[in-house]
Structure 1
Amino acid sequence: MARGNTRQRIQDVALELFAEQGYEKTSLREIAERLDVTKAALYYHFKTKEDIVISLFQDIVRPLDELIAWAAEQPRTLETKTEILRRYHDALTRAAPLFRFMHENQATVRDLSIGVDFKDRLVRLSELVQEPDLPMADRVRCVSALFTMHAGMFFLQHVDGDPEEKRKAALEVAVDLITQAHTGHA
C-alpha cells in the first residue's frame, strides 16, 4: 500500500475510534489493532495521537487558508460573502468527521495548539463576511451565518431527514442571514 494511503487510513481509523470511544480513551495500540498493523508500523507515520490530530487539522486548514487568501483579494460585495459561505460549507462537508471530533472533544482541542490556530482562522473568516460599519445586529447576523453551518452539521445530525437536505438548508439560512445583514432587510 502506498504511504499516502496508509497515512489516510490511519487518520480515518483514528477518527472512527475517537468518535466511538472518545479521544482520551483511545490508545495508539487500539488504532494499530483496528488497522491490523503493528504499533511500530503506526509509529512510522505518527508517534502520538496528537500527531494524528495535528495532521488532520493541517489537512483542513489548507483549504481554509486558501479560502481566506482568496476572500481577502475579492471585492467586499454580497456576492463575495455568499461565495465565502458556499466554499466554507464545502470545506465543512468534506471535513465533517473532523469537525464532529472538534465539537465532541472541545476540551482536548482547546489544549492542543491547533485549537487556537483554528479559532484564529475562524475569526479571520468572520471578519471577511462582515463590515465594521454595519449595525451590531447585522454584524451578529454575519457571524451567525458561519455558525449556522456548524449548527446544521452538529445539531441536525439527530434530526430525521436527508443529510444533504439538512446541509443545503443550513447553507440557505446562512446566505439569508448574510443577505439580510448587507441589504438592510432584517
Structure 2
Amino acid sequence: MARGNTRQRIQDVALDLFAEQGYEKTSLREIAERLDVTKAALYYHFKTKEDILIGIFEDLTRPMDELIAWAEEQPRTLETRQEVLRRYQEALRAAAPLFRFMQENQATVRELSVGLTFKERMLALTGLIREPDFAMVDQVRCVSAIFTLHAGAFFMQNIEGDSEEKHRATLEVALDLLNQAHGAA
C-alpha cells in the first residue's frame, strides 16, 4: 500500500478486493478482515462500501477536476486541447487501479453515484476538446482521442512491449486524431 493513513489504507485494501472479486461480492467484513481491524473501526471511517468507493473516486479523480478547471480557463486552441490530452493521460496513469476497477465493474459503477459523476466529467472533458460546429466525423475523432487514452491504459497492458513506449504510442494516436479533427493533420 502506497498511502499511509488509516482512511487511505481502507481505500487501498477495498480497491484491491473490489478488483479481485468484484464490488458486489466484497463485504465490509472482508475489508475489515484484510486490514485486521474490527468492523466498528471500519465504520468509524466509512459507513458503507459505496462511501469507500466515493472516497477512492474523489481522491483519485481530483486531477481530472483540476484539469477540467484549468482547461476552462485556457484559450480554446489546438495547443490547449493537446495539453488536455497529455494531462488526461497522466491522470489516467495515476489512477490506474480505479479506472481498471471501473472498466471491469461497469454495470455496478453505472448504478452508483460515482458512475454519474464520471459520466459528467467525461462529457465535460470531451466538450473541451471538440467544437459543436465540427463536422460529425471530426467530433467523433475528438471523442475517440479521449477513448484512445482509455484503451491505452487498459488494453495495452496485454500487449508485449515497453510500458513507456506504449504510453507514448497511445498519446501519439490520440493527438493524431485530435489534430485531424482540427485540420492540422
Counterparts of 1:40 and 1:164 in 2: how far apart (Å)? 43
What amino acid maps onto 1:147 in structure 2? F
Counterparts of 2:117 and 2:128 in 1: how far apart (Å)? 17
Using the aligned pairs only, state the percent identity: 73
Counterparts of 1:49 and 1:163 in 2: how far apart (Å)? 32
Question: Are 2:173 and 1:173 equivalent residues in the alignment?
Answer: yes
SS of the aligned residue for 2:182 comes to helix
What amino acid maps onto 2:46 in structure 1? F
TM-score, normalising length from structure 2?
0.93
Residues 60-116 of structure 1 deviation map (CA, whole Å, 9 limit, x = unaligned):
342222211111111111110000001111110100000011111111111111211
SS of the aligned residue for 1:125 comes to helix
Counterparts of 1:155 and 1:162 in 2: how far apart (Å)? 14
Deviation of residue 172 (structure 1)? 1.4
Counterpart in 2 of 1:43?
A: 43
What amino acid maps onto 2:43 in structure 1? Y
Q: Where does structure 1 differ by over 6 angstroms across 4 or more consecutive aligned residues?
A: none
Q: Which runs of 5+ in 2 are unaligned?
A: none
SS of the aligned residue for 2:54 comes to helix
Counterparts of 1:49 and 1:116 in 2: how far apart (Å)? 17
Counterpart in 2 of 1:28?
A: 28
Q: Map residues 86-165 of structure 1 onto 2, 5 A cutoff.
A: 86-165=86-165
Q: Which runs of 5+ in 1 are unaligned?
A: none
Residues 34-63 of structure 1 deviation map (CA, whole Å, 9 limit, x = unaligned):
111111111111111111101111113422
Q: Pairwise CA RMSD of aligned residues?
A: 1.5
The verdict on how the C-alpha distance between 1:184 and 1:164 changes in structure 2, with shifts beyond 3 A counting, is: closer
Deviation of residue 162 (structure 1)? 2.5
Counterpart in 1 of 2:13?
A: 13
Counterparts of 2:52 and 2:164 in 1: how far apart (Å)? 28
SS of the aligned residue for 1:183 comes to coil
Whether contact under 8 Å (2:46, 2:52) holds in the other structure is: yes
Counterparts of 2:132 and 2:29 in 1: how far apart (Å)? 50
